Structure 1
Amino acid sequence: MGYDLHITRKSEWFDEDGDEITLDEWCNFVKSSSDMRLDGFAEIETPNGTLRVESEGLSVWTGYSCHEKDGNMAWFDYFEGNIKVKNPDDEIIKKCTK
């Protein structure tokens, strides 16, 4: 079982009302960061072939200590005014709070 961590300006990430992070803000943040990369997609190989997800704000944290070790990637995805990270470990959570 997994979980998502959301970076948000709202009281609750799922609220319809409240301040949002704009896609431009997110992309500018990623582009200005020396340890983040804006890819716009993620791919993994599965026994049944390649799984590809595309999202305009999908970024990877290249400064992650497990980056590309055994296929590990720390993906940060922009979605509906929030940034979402799936199944973050302690290191990724610490990155989210900076």
Structure 2
Amino acid sequence: MGYDLHITRAENWSENKDQWISSDERLSVIETDRELTLDTTNGPFFADWSGDSRYESPWFDWVEGNIFTKNPDKQIVKKMLQLA
């Protein structure tokens, strides 16, 4: 079993109408963060993270105004807090 963890502007990530993180803002963060690399083979807003993680290829994606990842370890959660 696993779970997703989201960065959102809404109280509930699935109810974020009018509270989206824009795609332009998402791309801007990827461009300015040296630890993130855009990887469009996995989608137009998918980013690989070069930080320390127990996973070989940690990542973040953007869908419908939220940034998310699956089954984050402690280091990924720390990075998500930094991004938020």
- Which residue does 1:4 correspond to in 2? 4
Larger radius of gyration: 1
Residue among 39, 51, 54 paired with 1:63: 51
Question: Helix, strand or coil: the match of 1:77?
Answer: strand
Kindly report which structure 2 residues correspond to 1:42-57, keeping only aligned pairs within 5 A, or say none.
54-57=42-45
Answer yes or no: is the 8 Å Cα contact 1:20–1:82 preserved in 2.
Answer: yes
Question: Helix, strand or coil: the match of 1:84?
Answer: strand
The question of 1:75 aligning with 2:50 is answered no
User: 1:37-81 deviations in whole A, cap 9, x for unaligned?
Assistant: 01123xxxxxxxxxxxx31100011123446xxxx1111010000
The question of 1:93 aligning with 2:77 is answered yes
Answer yes or no: is the 8 Å Cα contact 1:76–1:84 preserved in 2.
Answer: yes
User: 1:23-42 deviations in whole A, cap 9, x for unaligned?
Assistant: 1101110111111101123x
Give the ranges of 4+ consecutive aligned residues of structure 1 lying more than 6 Å apart after TM superposition: none
Q: Unpaired segments of 5 or more residues in structure 1? A: 42-53
For residues 65 and 88 of structure 1, what CA distance do their matches in structure 2 show?
9
Q: Greater strand percent: which structure?
A: 1
For residues 54 and 16 of structure 2, what CA distance do their matches in structure 1 show?
35
Q: Unpaired segments of 5 or more residues in structure 2? A: none
- Which residue does 1:36 correspond to in 2? 36
Question: Helix, strand or coil: the match of 2:52?
Answer: coil
Kindly report which structure 2 residues correspond to 1:5-24, keeping only aligned pairs within 5 A, or say none.
5-24=5-24
- Aligned-residue RMSD, C-alpha: 1.4
TM-score for the superposition, normalised by structure 1: 0.77
TM-score for the superposition, normalised by structure 2: 0.88
Q: Identity rate of aligned residues, in percent?
A: 39
